[in-house]
Amino acid sequence: MTDDMRQAKHPVSAALAGPYGHPFHPILVTVPIGAWLASVVFDIGSHAVDDPAFLARGAQWLIAIGVLGALAAATVGFLDLFAIPTGTPAFRIGLIHMGLNLGVTAAFALSFWWRTSGTGVDDPVAAGPLTLSILAMLVLTVSGYLGGKLAYHYGVRVADETTQAAGYRR
């Protein structure tokens, strides 16, 4: 294993980014992904029920939870990015992954603001914020693919093969 590969597997700070082979970033990203996906389901559902207020308000709360969760995940993810040697394909993918995720977070923050300053929450979610949320989820899907490539293809912050092999010895 090269020094660059070894560097990408170890955290900048184990206390902040998670211990070797068990990073916190993949754990934390489940909060915004789940909250935002549920918010889109609530948005769509607000058009299918007689009283959309509950779902519209729920979607707003879920978006806010997702934005806060994304900020936590981004902080830890940024530390993981520091572990990747610059000038490598993995680092370039990490930068794209980070940029897309920051854009998605900004889109959902904008969607939250749009909802609070636009039509009342007693109405079904307007087409504009709904479209923005769906587009942001599509971008998040691409970014998630890139994050998976970093972990599963390039092994960023994943234990090395010798450590992994220990789990298969009898």
Would you write out the chain's pLDDT as a tens digit for each of its 170 residues? 677 777 777 767 777 777 777 889 999 999 999 999 999 999 999 999 999 989 999 999 999 999 999 999 999 999 999 989 999 999 999 999 999 999 999 999 999 999 888 666 678 898 999 999 999 999 999 999 999 999 999 988 888 788 878 888 88
Helix, strand or coil for residue 150?
A: helix
pTM across the whole model: 0.88
Supply the pLDDT for residue 118: 65
Domain ranges of the chain: 3-160
User: Measured between alpha carbons, how far is residue 15 from residues 21, 30, 33 in Å?
Assistant: 13, 20, 24
Supply the pLDDT for residue 49: 93
Encoded tokens for 136? 């942001």
User: Measured between alpha carbons, how far is residue 89 from residues 2, 17, 95, 115, 151 in Å?
Assistant: 15, 22, 10, 39, 13
Supply the pLDDT for residue 42: 96
- Whose structure tokens read 């998630």? 144
Largest CA distance in the chain: 63
Cβ proximity of 63 and 120 under 8 Å: no
